Amino acid sequence: MALVVQKYGGSSLASAELIRNVARRIIKKCREGYQVVVVASAMGDTTDDLIKLAYQVNSAPDKRELDLLLSTGEIVASTLLAMALQSLGQPAVSLSGSQAGIRTDKAFSRARITDINPARVLRELEKGKVVVVAGFQGVTEDMDITTLGRGGSDTTAVALAAALRAERCERYTDVDGIYTTDPRLLPEARKLSEISYEEMLEMVTYGFKAIHPRAVELGEVFNVPILVASSFNENPGTLIHKEVSMEIRNKVRGIAHDTDVAKITIVGVPDHPGIAAGIFMPLAEAGISVDTIVQNASIDNITDLTFTVARSQLKHALSVVEPIARSIGAKKVVSDDKLGKVSIIGTGMQNAPGYAARMFDTLSRENINIQLITTSEIRITCIIDEGRLKDAVRALHRAFELDKAT
């Protein structure tokens, strides 16, 4: 009997009525002949509400306590979903992460799953039950409750699908698939019927919020196909998987964009070995994630070093960089936080030339100045003025013919 893991996000479970709606969808899947394991997120804003409560009693809540607190949100949603299934005549049982055998390391608030013991889940499936598992949480060997960090329920679902050798993982939220670009920004954005893991990873890393990158990585490692679809309609959704058809591979698949970017330039850096490490090691130690790094060709052993950080980390990054810049005799430090990133993504790019040229040409025709460029094998990213981001997305979407049906 084929098995699927379905995951429902908080917006899909935000009220009793929505929970009953989800229960009906699950039962439909059962009637198609599937065994179904469901991973539930916390209802609506529950997690944020619990965090607010925690901060009302402690301005810096202990992570172990916070994890035990937050884990209740997904348990509430899971039990209610199991009850809704039962009221519609479908045998069901809800399990906490701990009861479902989801074991993690001890990194509270951002725990990693170390292994899954699916014995209880399998036992309940054999009894003909839908098994509803509380997402986002696990248990350490000391029986302490951990959470996997934001987006952790996606990770729970894919990990369970891998452990149970499920046919696929279906992830339902209020978003009905992966689009060529953000449809709120560009109404002509089209939904993709399929996308590869690598493309999806580049998209989520470069501005798509549709699914957590950890879940996609895990899906890739264990080769679990992931369907991204809406719980509010019957639209087909997007399948994230390995075997994307050849024709589709030879294309730019999506345009990602992001405004969470700030640029720092250290001007007039004396160029000698070790100077980059002397700047980037302290940033790493301060917990600041550096994205793009560009170093100009050195003239008279003097160079400029430019890099980007998340906008929210700009102040912190400057407080680390400025004393270093002075100590190494650099001329000055300048920064800019009115920037945006636009990326074209597609596995087709790795085998075909001309994508970068076409991207730069398109932006140039729109009179958009490119400040920094960074690439991967399947992605080209340009950093530009934030104010021109929408124009850039629109022009690139058209230039790479994403508005046309495949």
- DSSP lists the bridge partners of residue 305 as 266, 295
- Selected from 11, 79, 265, 381, the binder of its own copies by CB under 8 A is 79
Lay out the site mask for its own copies across 304-343 (x = CB under 8 A, - = otherwise).
----------------------------------------
SS (H, E, C) 144-159: CEEECCCCHHHHHHHH
Q: Which two tokens stand for residue 302?
A: 């003097």
- Selected from 39, 82, 169, 178, the binder of its own copies by CB under 8 A is 82
Give the integer Cα–Cα distance in Å for 191 and 188.
10
Which residues, 104 to 123, sit near its own copies by CB under 8 A?
A: 120
Side chain identity at residue 30, one-letter code? C
Lay out the site mask for its own copies across 162-201 (x = CB under 8 A, - = otherwise).
----------------------------------------
Q: Go through the chain and tell me how many residues it has.
A: 406
Q: Percent helix, strand and coil across the chain, each rounded to 5?
A: 40, 25, 35
The secondary structure element, H or E, covering residue 321 is helix 314-327
Q: How far is the CB of 14 from its own copies (least distance, A)?
A: 12
When asked if residue 59 is in the footprint of its own copies (CB under 8 A), the reply is yes
When asked if residue 66 is in the footprint of its own copies (CB under 8 A), the reply is yes
Q: How far is the CB of 65 from its own copies (least distance, A)?
A: 5
Q: Which two tokens stand for residue 93?
A: 């049982």
Side chain identity at residue 96, one-letter code? S
Which residues, 121 to 160, sit near its own copies by CB under 8 A?
A: 143-145
Spell out a b/e string for 172-211, using b for 16 or more CB atoms within 10 Å of the CB, else e. bbebbbbbbbbeeebeebbbbebbbbbbbbbbbbbbbebb
When asked if residue 80 is in the footprint of its own copies (CB under 8 A), the reply is yes
When asked if residue 45 is in the footprint of its own copies (CB under 8 A), the reply is no
Q: Is 235 exposed, middle or buried (0-12, 13-18, 19+ CB in 10 A)?
A: exposed
- Selected from 53, 286, 334, 352, the binder of its own copies by CB under 8 A is 53
When asked if residue 51 is in the footprint of its own copies (CB under 8 A), the reply is no
Q: How many residues bind its own copies (CB under 8 A)?
A: 41
Q: Which two tokens stand for residue 74?
A: 């997904």
When asked if residue 19 is in the footprint of its own copies (CB under 8 A), the reply is yes
When asked if residue 68 is in the footprint of its own copies (CB under 8 A), the reply is yes
- Selected from 4, 5, 14, 69, the binder of its own copies by CB under 8 A is 69
Angle between helices 275-285 and 314-327 (to 10 degrees): 150
Within 13 Å, how many C-alpha atoms sit on residue 162's CB side? Answer: 21
Give whichever of 60 and 357 is closer to its own copies, judged by the CB atom: 60
* Binding region for its own copies (CB under 8 A): 16, 19-20, 23, 50, 53-54, 56-62, 64-66, 68-69, 71-72, 75-76, 78-84, 86-87, 93-94, 96, 98-99, 120, 143-145
